[in-house]
Amino acid sequence: MYYAREPYSNVDAVHVTRFIGLASVGNREKQKFIHAISPTPASTMSSVEVAMKPPNTTLSPYMIEEKMPSAKDATKRSSDNVSDPQYWRYDLSQKRQKHGAGDGDKLCFKFLSSGSCPRGDKCNFQHDIDAKEQYQRGVCFDFLNKGKCERGPDCNFKHSLQDEDNNHTQRRSRSENNSSNRSKECWFCLSSPNVESHLIVSIGENYYCALAKGPLVEDHVLLIPVEHMPSTLSMLPESEIEFCRFQNSLKMYCNKQGKEVIFFEWASRRSTHANVQVVPIPPSKANMVEKIFNLAADKLGFKFVAKKFDSSSDGRNFLKTQIDRNSSLFYAELSGGIILLHVVNENERFPAQFGREVVAGLLNMADKADWRNCKYSKEEETKMVEDFKSRFQKYDPNC
């Protein structure tokens, strides 16, 4: 026999837990008792699916070394969601331990991101001042914590320690050198040795189009600025004409293929090189797109601003008024001229792969939410690009 407790929310993680206990059976005659369950591995789930909480979710009953919360605190914690990020985001398989034991050398994500941690001395992770300063300068949390980052071009942070110099001249020189170095290391800069040129479909003066690395579906491409810019909304106004020409061409191409198309961008102030994701979807799914984006937003604790525009250029002119150098935003352009917008707060931890994860869920392809699960060989990618170019040629604005 076994019993299962109702799901409960964790204090410092986005997921819920369901405790399963086995009743005592004695086993005096050395009989074997087996209980089998088949949970979905978290590695195949999107962050939205991981963060979902069933309606019967309760507060965690296991408050180790803490006093039981008051009714007010319990109410507050029961309403917590991913807007209060967990302390150690990327390695949930590791057990949380005290300082100096096992994982005690890991950094506290809450302390690095906000400068304070409500757990104080009871926190199981390090409150490192130097690491906090490096994080505030844009250094990747995984890089600080593990010495490496496995997210490749999808990571929006720097993978080198940043020095702070009080001398303005040295600071300016270093900034210029860092910008040059970032361009050389960037996956999307055409001058970089790391750029995978075999994925490029079409090149214009300000933008180029390339097959997405690890495409979610066939004809999944990216619109990428030639210049090393953090978002397409930061580009000069004269570049908008070319962007809209690319966008309209891709819409016509997808419509000819009998598909609708979604455009979305994570315009983060910490991004290194902007890219707009262009994902074709079946017409049967088109009327569900806005609903599933709103559902995902609800799970993460925010609401989209939805607006409808007569043209893509009008929509982008609106988006440009919503962003500045100190803010980040996510937007998605759907069929019918509908734009969904979320301006991300300074301390809000927004998933970099949110758009892809939502579309993967829409298409019932949760296992493809991570592009690394969709890798192809260089030969396969080259063939895919050539096939796409042959179909897209008569729509290509640069032909």
Cα dihedral: 45, 371, 395, 393 (round 10) = -140
- Whether residue 213 is predicted with pLDDT greater than 50 in this model: the reply is yes
Q: Give the whole-angstrom CA distance, residue 383 versus residue 137.
A: 41
Give the distance from CA 245 to its chain's centroid. Answer: 27
Tokens representing 43 are 């590695």
For 228-286, the pLDDT digits (tens) are 888 999 898 889 999 999 999 999 999 999 999 999 999 987 777 999 999 999 999 99
How much is the pTM? 0.58
CATH code, 197-395:
3.30.428.10
For 41-99, the pLDDT digits (tens) are 765 665 556 666 666 666 665 543 344 444 444 444 443 443 333 322 333 333 333 33
Collapsing DSSP to helix, strand or coil, 2 comes out as strand
> Tell me, what's the pLDDT at 124?
80
Strand ranges in the chain using DSSP code E only, listed in sequence order: 2-4, 8-9, 16-17, 20-22, 58-59, 200-203, 207-211, 221-225, 260-267, 276-281, 305-308, 328-333, 338-344
Q: Give the whole-angstrom CA distance, residue 207 versus residue 144.
A: 33
Tokens representing 399 are 């032909």
Contact 250, 283 (CB under 8 A): no
Average pLDDT over residues 187-204: 89
Q: Give the whole-angstrom CA distance, residue 47 versus residue 7.
A: 18
Which residue spans of the chain are classified as CATH 3.30.428.10? Answer: 197-395
What number of other Cβ atoms are within 10 A of residue 242's Cβ?
19
